[in-house]
Amino acid sequence: MVSFETLDREALSAEVDKLRDQYSQLRARQLDLNLTRGKPAPEQLDLSAELLALPGADYRDGNGLDCRNYGGLDGLPELRAIFGELLKVPTSQLLAGNNSSLEMMHDTIVYQLLHGNVDSARPWSAEPGVKFLCPSPGYDRHFAICEHFGIEMLPVPMRPDGPDMDVVTELVNDPQVKGIWCVPIYSNPTGVTFSEETVRALATMPTGAHDFRIYWDNAYVVHPLTDAEAPVHDILGMAADAGHPNRPLVFASTSKITFAGSGVGFLGSSSENIDWYKKNLGFSSIGPDKLNQLRHLRFFKDAAGVRAHMAKHREILAPKFNAVLDILDSRLSDAKVATWTHPDGGYFINLDVVEGTAKRVVQLAKEAGISLTAAGASFPYGKDPANCNIRLAPSFPALEEIRVAMDGVATCVLLAAAEHFDE
Ligand code: PLP
């Protein structure tokens, strides 16, 4: 196959006919495959099967705390020490909570809308408007929180080393811009890892709002797909040194380490922010699920235990990512109708098809029994201005299903592109 753009009209029409034929054969197979779910596969969950029998009869942590009872809003210190080491957050500034870090992000937004944060002059809801910077493509659930609460989202282009800092530093002068969403390592869905320079710029830049917050969602911090782990930069230290100790709110969880529905979420920040969070949280909780924290502690033992466990995930995930990349390469490279990421970690591959065709590709795939994430889902308000972006999630389906699904997706990408050029 040659680049579609070099084909004359006649050759292009012939290509459309050939691809329509291929697509009919694909539809006739009546597939039922799904590449939308960014969740661990059952074999990955099996890696943590031991957790189901923990903590056993010994329900006390290393300090003798009875984990069955109420209390301990901070979470177990020994578990916080393990994740503090991985996240580069001092144990005293890291809180271990319940299963969802997304819930913690949501709650901090609500607290700030209702009461403001420790640096606010008034509740965010009393401001003339609240805006958030949204590096895009990004995580749809971050954007959904903003949309739900009427926070205006300002898209920022994503570069290979993080958000476009020229755009960020310009927009952040507006005092209504109160925050930015960041997934600094193996970002969802681009796989981008922020460079040290970008991290420092975010931590130190002047902002119009004194109560500006960086939502530092390190969901994929220990999720490399290769032997080389991305370095974790000390954003809290950088921000504190620059006189903005309260700016970063660091989030993480074990959702994609142990059980996605029964992991442990973490929030790290300045001591002042942690106290602020606990003061607010204290109205809705008398303490987190410490037995769950204890069984995670016994399971991992230390930070090396977490890394060793992640190596097992990698053995399952890497072949799936490679299968997607191989098919994209063999089916789409020559036609030059798409570009895609080669992530070093995380849960997604980001596919950019010919501008204006992403929705058509997703529709064609759906009609052929292959579910893809809705086109535009990774952009604020679900609107991808170029209509070219598709998020692929290879973790959940079995390897053979991925091969079949991706081959079908490639046919849909080619057909949509050929139709587009043939118009
Ligand atoms: N943050 C990112 C970037 C994610 O991709 C996900 C899940 O896909 C989450 C957070 C969800 O985290 P949790 O399960 O801790 O709520």
Whole-angstrom Cα distance, residue 166 to residue 176?
18
pLDDT of residue 74: 98
* Protein residue with its CA nearest to atom 4 in ligand 1: 219
The atom of ligand 1 lying closest to the CA of 183 is 3
Separation of CA 215 and ligand 1 centre (Å):
12
pLDDT of residue 5: 83
Spell out the SS3 assignment of the chain.
Answer: CCCHHHCCHHHHHHHHHHHHHHHHHHHHCCCCEECCCCCCCHHHHHCCHHHHHCCCCCCECCCCCECCCCCCCCCCHHHHHHHHHHHCCCHHHEEECCCCHHHHHHHHHHHHHHHCCCCCCCCHHHCCCCEEEEEECCCHHHHHHHHHCCCEEEEEEEECCEECHHHHHHHCCCCCEEEEEECCCCCCCCCCCCCHHHHHHHHHCCCCCCCCEEEEECCCCCCECCCCCCCCCCHHHHHHHCCCCCCEEEEEECCCCCCCCCCCEEEECCHHHHHHHHHHHCCCCCCCCHHHHHHHHHHHCCHHHHHHHHHHHHHHHHHHHHHHHHHHHHHHCCCCCEEECCCCECCCEEEEECCCCHHHHHHHHHHCCEECCCCCCCCHHHCCCCCCEEEECCCCCCHHHHHHHHHHHHHHHHHHHHHHHHC
Ligand 1 first shell, C-beta below 6 A: 38, 100-102, 139, 183, 188, 217, 219, 253, 255, 265
Separation of CA 403 and ligand 1 centre (Å):
26
Is pLDDT at 37 greater than 90 in this prediction? no
Separation of CA 253 and ligand 1 centre (Å):
8
Separation of CA 101 and ligand 1 centre (Å):
7
pLDDT of residue 2: 76
pLDDT of residue 136: 98
Spell out the SS3 assignment of 233-255.
Answer: CCHHHHHHHCCCCCCEEEEEECC
Whole-angstrom Cα distance, residue 313 to residue 315?
5
Separation of CA 211 and ligand 1 centre (Å):
24
Separation of CA 38 and ligand 1 centre (Å):
9
Separation of CA 219 and ligand 1 centre (Å):
6
How far from the centroid of its chain's Cα atoms is residue 244's Cα?
25
243: its two tokens: 């006189």
Separation of CA 332 and ligand 1 centre (Å):
30
Summarised one tens digit per residue, pLDDT across range 324-343 is 999 999 999 999 999 999 99
Whole-angstrom Cα distance, residue 235 to residue 251?
12
- Pocket probe mutation, ligand 1, options 99, 253, 349, max atoms within 8 Å of Cβ: 253
* 244 phi/psi in degrees, rounded to 5: -125, 55
- Tell me how crowded residue 305 is: count the other CB atoms within 10 A of its CB: 14
pLDDT of residue 6: 87
The atom of ligand 1 lying closest to the CA of 39 is 8
Summarised one tens digit per residue, pLDDT across range 73-130 is 999 999 999 999 999 999 999 999 999 999 999 999 999 999 999 999 999 999 999 9
Separation of CA 137 and ligand 1 centre (Å):
15
- Pocket probe mutation, ligand 1, options 36, 104, 188, 348, max atoms within 8 Å of Cβ: 188
Is pLDDT at 32 greater than 90 in this prediction? yes
* Protein residue with its CA nearest to atom 8 in ligand 1: 38
How far from the centroid of its chain's Cα atoms is residue 101's Cα?
11
How far from the centroid of its chain's Cα atoms is residue 323's Cα?
21
The reported pTM is 0.97
Summarised one tens digit per residue, pLDDT across range 163-217 is 999 999 999 999 999 999 999 999 999 999 999 999 999 999 999 999 999 999 9
The least confident of 6-10, 65-69, 88-92, 140-144 is 6-10
* Protein residue with its CA nearest to atom 2 in ligand 1: 219
pLDDT of residue 190: 97
- pLDDT band at residue 423, thresholds of 50, 70 and 90? confident
The atom of ligand 1 lying closest to the CA of 256 is 14
Is pLDDT at 1 greater than 80 in this prediction? no
- Pocket probe mutation, ligand 1, options 255, 266, 292, 396, max atoms within 8 Å of Cβ: 255
Is pLDDT at 72 greater than 80 in this prediction? yes
* Protein residue with its CA nearest to atom 1 in ligand 1: 219
* Mean pLDDT on 289-303: 98
* Mean pLDDT on 253-276: 98
Of the chain, the percentage scoring pLDDT greater than 90 comes to: 96
Separation of CA 326 and ligand 1 centre (Å):
27
The atom of ligand 1 lying closest to the CA of 38 is 8
Is pLDDT at 360 greater than 90 in this prediction? yes
Separation of CA 222 and ligand 1 centre (Å):
13
Q: What is the mean pLDDT of the chain?
A: 97
Is pLDDT at 391 greater than 90 in this prediction? yes
Separation of CA 190 and ligand 1 centre (Å):
15
- Pocket probe mutation, ligand 1, options 217, 220, 250, max atoms within 8 Å of Cβ: 217
The atom of ligand 1 lying closest to the CA of 99 is 15
